[in-house]
Amino acid sequence: MPDLNKKSNKVVIIATIVTGLLLFATIFAYLLANQTNHGIKLKAQKSTDNTSEQKLVAATISLAGSDKKQQSNQNSTEPSQIELSAVLEKSEKTIIQEASTNDTIETKSIKSTSEETTSSETEQNSPQNDDYKYIALTFDDGPYHDIDLKVLDLLTEHDGHATFFVLGSRIDGDFETIKAVIEQGSELGNHSFSHADLAKLNYDQIMAEINLTNAKIQEYTGVVPTLIRPPYGSYNEQVLAALPYPIMIWDHDTIDWLTQDAEQISERLEETLPGSVVLMHSMYPETLAALEQTLPKLYEQGYRFVTVSELYHIYGVDLVPHGRHSSPADELGR
Ligand SMILES: [Zn+2]
C-alpha cells in the first residue's frame, strides 16, 4: 500500500495548501474591504452633508465604524492603497477649503452688516441734516488763552467748532492756545501779523503780514491757514490781487468791540440767521459771557456751530482765492 499512502499524503498536502491559500485569500479580502470602506464612506458623506463641520464628524464616525461593516463590503471594488490615500487627502482638503470658504462668507456678511450700520449711523449724525441751522462763529485778534480756551470748552459742550483769526505777533506768547484750537477741531485763520490796515500797505508789506503769520501758525500746529480776515475788514484791489487766499469778511457783526456789554452782544447773537458768518473778538470777557448765555439757547433752537470752511462746504459755495466773501447764505442771496 505504499502507493496508496503516497496518494493520501499528496491529497493531505494539496488540501493543506488549498486551505492555506483560501485562508490567505480571506484575510487579503478582509483587509481590502476594510480599506475600501473608508473611501466610499467619505465620498458618500461628502455629497450629502451640508456643512463642513458635519462632514468632519461624519468622516470620523465612518472611519471608526468601518470594522463592523467589513463583511458586507467584501465584494466592493478595491481601490489600490495609493488611490485610497488620494481620496482621503482630497476629502480633507475639500473639507478645509469649504470650511475656510464658509468662514470667509460669514466674515464678509458680518463686515457688510457692520458697514451698513456705520453708514446709516453716519447719515443720522450728518451735518447735512436739513433740520439744523448752521452758523460760523469767528473770533478775531487772539490768541487770548483766558477766553479762547473757555470758548473752546463751550463749543465742545455744544458739539461745535469755530474759526479763530489770529495775529502773528501774539502767537509766540500764546502758542498753546492755537494748538488747542486745532486739537478741539476748530479752525485757524490769518488776521495779519501786526493788525495792520492792509489797504494802506504796499505789496511787499501785505505779503510779509500774511506770510509771517502763516509761518508762525505752521511752526506750532503744522497747519497752514487758507483764510484771511483783513484787520478792520479793510481791503482794496491790490490786497485782493496780492493774496492767493479767500478774503473772509462777515455778514453779521455782534459789535462786541463797540458795546463790550454781554446783554447787547447776546441780543445781537440771537439775531443771527442760518448760514451767517458772525464777527466776534477774543479779548472781551463780555463776549464769553454772552456766548455762555446764548449758545445753549441757539443750540436748543436747532443752531449748530461750524467753522467757516465747513459752512461754505455745507452750503456748496466755493471759497475762491483772491475773492471777497461774507457768508454763503449772503452770497446765495438768502
Ligand atoms: Zn481785528
Cα 198 to averaged position of ligand 1 atoms, centre (Å) = 12
Instruction: Please identify every residue whose CB atom is under 5 Å from ligand 1, which is an ion.
Output: 140-141, 231
> Which residues make Cβ contacts (< 8 Å) with residue 63, sequence separation at least 6?
38, 41
Structure confidence at residue 183 (pLDDT) = 98
- Active-site residue set: 140, 281
Interval between CA 127 and ligand 1 midpoint (Å): 30
- Name which of 48-52, 168-172, 232-236 the model is least confident about: 48-52
pLDDT confidence bin for 63, thresholds 50/70/90: very low
Report the separation in Å between the CA atom of 232 and the middle of ligand 1, taken as the mean of its atom positions.
Answer: 6
Q: How far is the CA of 258 from the centre of ligand 1 (A)?
A: 13
Domains and CATH numbers, the chain: 2-123 (no CATH), 133-331 (3.20.20.370)
Give the CA distances from residue 304 to residues 62, 81, 185, in Å, rounded to whole numbers and listed in that order.
69, 77, 14
pLDDT in tens, 244-301: 999 999 999 999 999 999 999 999 999 999 999 999 999 999 999 999 999 999 999 9
Rounded to 5 degrees, what angle do the CA atoms 247, 286, 185 make? Answer: 50
Percent of the chain with pLDDT over 70: 61
282 CA distance to ligand 1 centroid (A)?
A: 9
> Taking the model in full, what pTM does it have?
0.63
- 289-299 per-position pLDDT tens digit: 999 999 999 99
What percentage of residues in the chain have a pLDDT greater than 90? 60
Q: Look over the chain and give the mean of its residue pLDDT values, rounded to a whole number.
A: 77
